[in-house]
Amino acid sequence: MFDISSVVKYKAIEPSYTTKDGCRIVWEGVDEDDTDVVILNKNELSNLVELFKKNSVGEVELEDQSSYIRVNSDVTQFNLSNHGLLEVDTNQIQEDVLEYAKVPHEPQYVYIGTKEFYPSIWIRDDDKVQREISIKDPKKSLIQAILSSEPEKIRQDLSPTDLFRVFATRRSTRKFDKTKVEDWKIDKILSAADVAPTAGNFQGFQVFLIKNKKTKEALVEAANKQPYVNAPVVLVFCTDPSRVKLKFPPEILDKFSLQDATIAATFSLLAASGVGLSTIWIGMFDEEKVKKILGTDLRPSSILCIGYPDKKKPPKSRRHLKELIRVIE
């Protein structure tokens, strides 16, 4: 595993986005793209606090059951799935964790700001894909091979959180189970929106996390009475062109902001699928009613409804790529 501890340094411990329990451990690199955030849920943080209180060495297993924090007498190591090793001086993080645990913390206001993500993302080796296609037929170009191929079967050896497995198995859900969605999963979904690409990296959007029952019911009415809007987790993505500090006409900034909000919602949708949840994207709603419900002047672009599916269903069949893609030579 590549050791990135020489590039990324421990920075601070911050409250979670959505809960008073758990925390976000922030790592900072040379530039903004190097920033990492490790999200701990309530139990993980409690176990880490217990080790530090006893001045003990040991390990804290994380939610995915393959990542863990190893506390040594000199260095504390964060061994995360599909991610470089993170290290920090044990005395430093022990002091910060115990200090953080002394007082209750309010969840951070859900406004997308600093870059962060949960560092357990599998990255496809495109060079390997290119080589495999070339071996099959060296006379074919990559795009020709893709357009003439059959739909790829889902590899059963891939992890449920594998990015391409998420793409292949994602399915919209219109009936959710009443099971409460864990706070750590909501944190990861919001963190995914935070790393979405945006115009000039100005993040011209805002996310509203709806917890209030009456607000959800009002959104159902505003969204053409679609009942599944009243889901366990409801996120409303709004455009905020005032954040896009580029010298373009207002209509262009509006366009950038709409694209920003849409991409961020897509990242959240895929993150939800990656942690075992289902979603439904709502685009049919009365914008003015939604603005009034939220108490904002920002234009809503989409409503993302998230929860555990009442019944798991296989993904729907799709068009062949050759029907989807037009190649202009």
Least Cα distance to 207 among 303, 305, 111 occurs for 111
Of residues 50 and 155, more confidence is placed in 50
Token pair of 273 as six digits: 């699928």
- Alpha helix locations (H) across 275-303? 287-294
Average pLDDT of 6-21?
A: 79
> 104 pLDDT band (50/70/90 cuts)?
confident
Q: Which residue intervals of the chain bear CATH 3.40.109.10? A: 126-329
Per-residue confidence (pLDDT) for residue 246, from 0 to 100: 93
Residue 113 has pLDDT above 60, yes or no: no
Per-residue confidence (pLDDT) for residue 103, from 0 to 100: 80
pLDDT one-digit tens code per residue, 194-205:
989 999 999 999
Average pLDDT of 231-235?
A: 96
Per-residue confidence (pLDDT) for residue 1, from 0 to 100: 41
Count CA atoms closer than 13 A to 157's CA, side-chain side. 0
Per-residue confidence (pLDDT) for residue 18, from 0 to 100: 65
**H/E run at residue 25:** strand 23-28
Per-residue confidence (pLDDT) for residue 229, from 0 to 100: 95
Per-residue confidence (pLDDT) for residue 146, from 0 to 100: 44
pLDDT one-digit tens code per residue, 305-325:
999 998 877 766 667 777 788
Domain 126-329 has CATH 3.40.109.10: yes
Order across the sheet with 23-28: list the strands: 9-14, 23-28, 36-40
Residue 138 has pLDDT above 80, yes or no: no
Average pLDDT of 90-112?
A: 78
- Name beta bridge partners: 39: 24
Percentage of the chain modeled with pLDDT above 70: 76
What is the average pLDDT score of the chain? 81
pLDDT one-digit tens code per residue, 279-303:
999 999 999 999 999 999 999 999 9
Percentage of the chain modeled with pLDDT above 90: 49
pLDDT one-digit tens code per residue, 174-195:
999 989 999 889 988 999 999 8
Per-residue confidence (pLDDT) for residue 255, from 0 to 100: 97
Q: How far is CA 172 from the centre of its chain?
A: 17
Task: Give the whole-angstrom CA distance, residue 201 versus residue 188.
Answer: 20
Do the beta carbons of residue 118 and residue 272 sit within 8 Å? no
Q: Give, as one character, the DSSP assignment of residue 183.
A: H
pLDDT one-digit tens code per residue, 32-41:
556 778 888 8
Token pair of 9 as six digits: 């340094």
Residue 59 has pLDDT above 60, yes or no: yes
- Name beta bridge partners: 234: 210, 305
